[in-house]
């Protein structure tokens, strides 16, 4: 069979087309897919880096906030009487008020400590949730002294490095001379940080053992 010039041209064109199709199918298209995969992976990695950077910034912010809270807690703890046991703190407050009265030359005719520390009311805790962890402890003392001695004791209480509050002062007298003895009642309060223990989770009822079918 004789192949004409026209046939050779058709065969050549067909071979070129087949070669182009082969190059496109086996060379260019996989390359395009590979480039697309690389771009997708690059975008994913960039998004992951952004998330990691944001997480690092959040971690640094949380660490700074935690450090600030810890510093505030340490400063607050330094103002409170030592210990977190209400009974121990109550005894210490009792001793402190009695000692300060004696240092000012004041006779203590009676001194009583609160038997049940109190937590803050719901409204106060709503305004400042941190107050939910504090207990208020009180000591009430009946004194016998002159007004100037009482003033000295009040000043000493105010200048104490520990946080003490004169919650109530009652003086049942009128037209008192500076040198005349009075019988005031004073209530001194302090706080102890003792958060409430979380309520235990209710126990699950035991499942009755059933007979297998």
pLDDT band for 209, please (50, 70, 90 cuts). low
Query: What is the model's pTM?
Result: 0.56
Task: Please report, for residues 69, 88, 91, the alpha-carbon distance to residue 83 in angstroms, rounded to integers and kept in the order given.
Answer: 20, 7, 11
Q: Is the pLDDT of residue 133 over 70?
A: yes
Contact status, residue 162 vs residue 81, Cβ threshold 8 Å? yes
Q: Please tell me which residue, 34 or 58, carries the higher pLDDT value.
A: 58
Q: Is the pLDDT of residue 140 over 90?
A: yes
pLDDT band for 26, please (50, 70, 90 cuts). low
**How confident is the model at residue 21, as a pLDDT?**
64
Give the mean model confidence (pLDDT) for residues 12-40: 67
The secondary element (H helix, E strand) that includes residue 49 is helix 29-79
Provide the token pair at 187.
């209530």
**How confident is the model at residue 127, as a pLDDT?**
79
CA distance 180 to 26: 113
- Ramachandran angles phi, psi of 205, nearest 5°: -65, 140
Q: Please tell me which residue, 77 or 86, carries the higher pLDDT value.
A: 86
Q: Which CATH class is domain 86-193?
A: alpha beta
Neighbouring residues of 130: CB distance < 8 A, sequence distance ≥ 6: none
| Residue 101 burial by Cβ neighbours in a 10 Å radius (0-12, 13-18, 19+) | buried
Give the mean model confidence (pLDDT) for residues 5-11: 64
Q: Is the pLDDT of residue 206 over 60?
A: no
Q: Count of residues for the chain?
A: 213
What residues does each domain of the chain span? 1-79, 86-193
Write the pLDDT tens digit of every residue in 90-124.
888 899 899 999 999 999 999 988 778 888 778 87
Q: Please tell me which residue, 117 or 185, carries the higher pLDDT value.
A: 185
Interstrand relation of 165-170 and 185-193 (parallel, antiparallel or unpaired): antiparallel
The secondary element (H helix, E strand) that includes residue 201 is none
With CA atoms as reference, report the closest residue to 186 among 141, 156, 151, 137.
141
């Amino acid at each position: 069979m004789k192949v004409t010039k026209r046939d050779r041209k058709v065969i050549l064109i067909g071979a070129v087309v087949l070669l182009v199709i082969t190059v496109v199918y086996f060379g260019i298209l996989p390359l395009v897919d590979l480039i697309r995969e690389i771009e997708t992976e690059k975008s994913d990695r960039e998004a992951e880096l952004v998330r990691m950077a944001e997480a690092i910034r959040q971690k640094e912010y949380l660490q700074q906030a935690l450090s600030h809270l810890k510093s505030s807690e340490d400063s607050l703890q330094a103002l409170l009487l030592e210990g977190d046991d209400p009974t121990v703190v109550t005894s210490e407050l009792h001793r402190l008020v009695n000692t300060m009265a004696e240092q000012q030359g004041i006779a203590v005719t009676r001194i009583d400590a609160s038997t049940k520390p109190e937590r803050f009311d719901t409204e106060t805790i709503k305004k400042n949730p941190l107050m939910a962890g504090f207990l208020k402890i009180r000591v009430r003392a009946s004194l016998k002294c002159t007004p100037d001695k009482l003033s000295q004791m009040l000043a000493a209480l105010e200048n104490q490095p520990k946080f003490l509050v004169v919650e109530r002062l009652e003086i049942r007298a009128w037209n008192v001379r500076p040198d005349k003895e009075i019988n005031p009642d004073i209530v001194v309060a302090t706080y102890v940080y003792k958060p409430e223990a979380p309520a235990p989770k209710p126990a699950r009822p035991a499942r009755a053992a059933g007979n297998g079918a």
